[in-house]
Amino acid sequence: MSRKRRQVVLIGPETKGGGAAPLGPIKELRATLANFNTGTDGAPPSNTGTELLYGPGMVIEVPTSQAIVNQAIANLSDEELAWPVLTRLCKALNWKMMDIETGRVFGG
C-alpha cells in the first residue's frame, strides 16, 4: 500500500492579538517563495481559484480569490526534499506549519 502524501498548512507569524498574520499579497508571496526555489511552472493561470507553486518535493496551493493570502497548503510528495526547505522558509519568515491530519504545529 502506498503512503499517503502529507499536507501542511503554511501560517503567518502570530500577531499580538493571538491570531496569525497573513502571508502577504500574492505577488509578494510569489517573490518570497522564489527565494526558496519555489515558483510557477510557466503555465498560464487557471480559473480554479488557486495557483500552484512548485518546489523541491512539494507543490504549494495558494488561493487567488483575494488580494491578500492568509494561508497556503503545501502538498509534500517527497518529505526528504521538502521538509528542509519548509523548515528554512518558516524559520526565515517566522511562519508555522500545521499538519492537516494531526493538527500538530511546527516551525516559527
**pLDDT tens digits, 64-101:** 888 899 999 999 999 999 999 999 999 999 999 999 99
Q: Within a domain: residue 15?
A: no
Q: Is residue 3 part of a domain?
A: no
Q: How far lies 62's CA from each of 2, 3, 53, 70, 74, in Å? A: 26, 24, 8, 9, 9
DSSP 16: T
Domain count, the chain: 1
- The boundaries of the domain holding residue 45 are 24-106
- pTM (2 decimals)? 0.90
Over the stretch 6-54, which tens digit does the pLDDT of each residue have? 999 999 998 888 889 999 999 999 999 999 999 998 887 778 889 999 9
Does 60 fall in a domain?
A: yes
Whether residue 73 lies inside any domain: the answer is yes
9: closest CA among 69, 54, 92, 84? 69
Residue 94 lies in a domain: yes
